Amino acid sequence: MKESWRWYGELDRISLPEIAQTGALGIVTALHDIPYGEVWERAAIAKRNAQIVEAGFEWVMVESLSVHEDIKRGEGDLERLFANYRQSMSNLASEGIKTICYNFMPLIDWTRTDLAAPVARGGACLRFDAPRMAAFEIHMLGRKDAVNDYPEAVVEQGGEWFRTATAEDQAALLHAIMSGLPGAYDRYSVTGLRTALRRYEGIGRDELRSNFRRFLNEVVPTAEELGMRLCVHPDDPPRDILGLSRIVSCEADIAWIMDAVPARANGLTLCAGSLGAGPENDIPAIAARFADRIHFAHLRNIRHDPDQSGSFEEAAHLNGGTDMVSLIHVLLEEETRRREAGLEDAEIPFRPDHGHDLLSDIERGAHPGYSLIGRMRGLAELRGVIAALEWSGKRELNGRI
């Protein structure tokens, strides 16, 4: 497996020389300053690639070549947007970058309510608190149907939080929810979010799926021609949010996407954390079913609150509800199958996703979830699991066990 690290370029407070000290060899990044829907010009791609190569890395993954909201809604000048996406793909391929991670989450990417929830023995983590999310939707946003989207106890707890919350508490909650948006783009105010949500009225699960299928039909053939791989990222959390449908949340959703355009270029980013936020998702089983379509892996773990409220927080990489050893075993087995089949892209890039804020991370102020020391700890733990499983496999192959 290819050790990689997400880097936000000039927006990142972690430098390439610092990343080099983690041992990672691949960089996962994007041109975050280019607005969604615009072409990534080859010169800009080449400049970023040269910067990465000169620092001793390989640009192994684009995360993300984002999908414009008009494509998700199925409105506007779609022909121009599809053409721009295909041109950006071609320009990336011309510079040797052949794999693109993207998502189809409407309006907002990953969603959390706390950016620095305390961790036992020190440090901080990202957390999704269902009562606070209910308070935001019902009382701050004023979404009338939100009361039906949460258990009664969660609605009551959210109401209690709102009644005692200060203006600063409410502002912090809005900031946390907006922090999942990537890059340098403006975050929504409550009023702005209401306006943006109105543009999705009448677009439910079926409509979103139809628009996703059209996107795939428009771009996957180009990926095949260019020898590229597209890999969709699951929803985070894998449930409807803000009244918006989420359609990449479970095994059945992934099966629909893989079957919609049954080409290897139409692949999956196996995000253990996003899928793991759904208690019903068996991550190693999902990985095993879609192993031949996995082109990228995000490895992190989730701890669910025992009250089954829907609240969760990000655990250390080898803790939480996902059996990380079993998951990595599936990915290593798939790499072996690919090598034996003579596939050129046998090695699966992965990155340690969303680390805790540990030690000096707390003062650094990096992107939420993208700490230096916390992710380095996660990478070291994952590296150890990979080494142990590879060693065990070699012993079995040699007949020593």
Q: Which position among 68, 233, 295, 317 bears the catalytic label?
A: 233
Q: What is the 3-state secondary structure (H, E, C) of the chain?
A: CEEEEECCHHHCCCCHHHHHCCCCCEEEECCCCCCCCCCCCHHHHHHHHHHHHHCCCEEEEEECCCCCHHHHHCCCCHHHHHHHHHHHHHHHHHCCCCEEEEECCCCCCCCCCEEEEECCCCCEEEEECHHHHHHHHHHHCCCHHHHHHCCHHHHHHHHHHHHHCCHHHHHHHHHHHHCCCCCCCCCCCHHHHHHHHHCCCCCCHHHHHHHHHHHHHHHHHHHHHHCCEEEEECCCCCCCECCECCCCCCHHHHHHHHHHCCCCCEEEEEEHHHHHCCCCCCHHHHHHHCHHHEEEEEECEEEECCCCCCCEEEECCCCCCCCHHHHHHHHHHHHHHHHHCCCCCCCCEEEECCCCECCCHHHHCCCCCCCCHHHHHHHHHHHHHHHHHHHHHHHHHCCCC
Catalytic, out of 68, 295, 298, 304: 298
357/123 Cα distance (integer angstroms): 5
Decide if 367 contacts 12 (C-beta within 8 A).
Answer: yes
Q: What crossing angle do the helices spanning 373-397 and 324-340 adopt, rounded to 10°? A: 60
Please, what's the b/e burial string for 150-170 (b: 16 or more CB within 10 A of its CB; e: otherwise)? beeebbebbeebbeebeeeeb
Q: In the annotation, is 271 catalytic?
A: yes
Options 295, 329, 354, 356, the catalytic residue: 354
317 tagged catalytic: no
Q: Which of 353, 356, 357, 361 is catalytic?
A: 353
> Residue 329 catalytic?
no
**Which residue among the candidates 8, 271, 304, 361 is catalytic per the annotation?**
271
Catalytic residues: 233, 271, 298, 353-354, 370
